[in-house]
Amino acid sequence: EAGVAQSPRYKIIEKRQSVAFWCNPISGHATLYWYQQILGQGPKLLIQFQNNGVVDDSQLPKDRFSAERLKGVDSTLKIQPAKLEDSAVYLCASSSGLAGDGTGELFFGEGSRLTVL
């Protein structure tokens, strides 16, 4: 079974530029998550999708971050314009369960490391 795929693995941009990250979850997984992991910290949830609908985006800085999962499969996270404090690893995860059914386990991709100069 293929795991969660993410691209690009690394990206370096200047502040105020834009960047997009792509994620393809494990086939059949209904729930998809984007996390931000700043160096030395644990993953922080940005947005959670169930199929193609948003379940939770309360921690997403909507003035600069956007995310979509149009067909309920793969997803794109965009940052525009980027700030220095956006330097982090952006993790995509998926799970087979639906939000609230408590099945639990998250399957993570290897992450996309963003450096903003």
Q: Which residues bind other proteins (CB under 8 A)?
A: 3-4, 31, 33, 40-45, 48, 50, 55-56, 91, 93, 97-102, 104-111
* Rounded distance between C-alpha atoms, residue 100 and residue 33, angstroms: 14
User: Residue 17 CB, nearest distance to other proteins (Å)?
Assistant: 26
| Closest to other proteins by CB, 30 or 81 | 30
Q: Toward other proteins, which CB reaches closer, 8 or 117? A: 8
Handedness of CA 39, 85, 45, 26 (dihedral sign): negative
Shortest separation between residue 3's beta carbon and other proteins, angstroms = 8
Cα–Cα distance measured from residue 15 to residue 87, given in angstroms and rounded to the nearest whole number: 10
Output 22 or 107, the one with its CB closest to other proteins. 107
Q: Strand pairing of 5-7 and 10-13?
A: unpaired
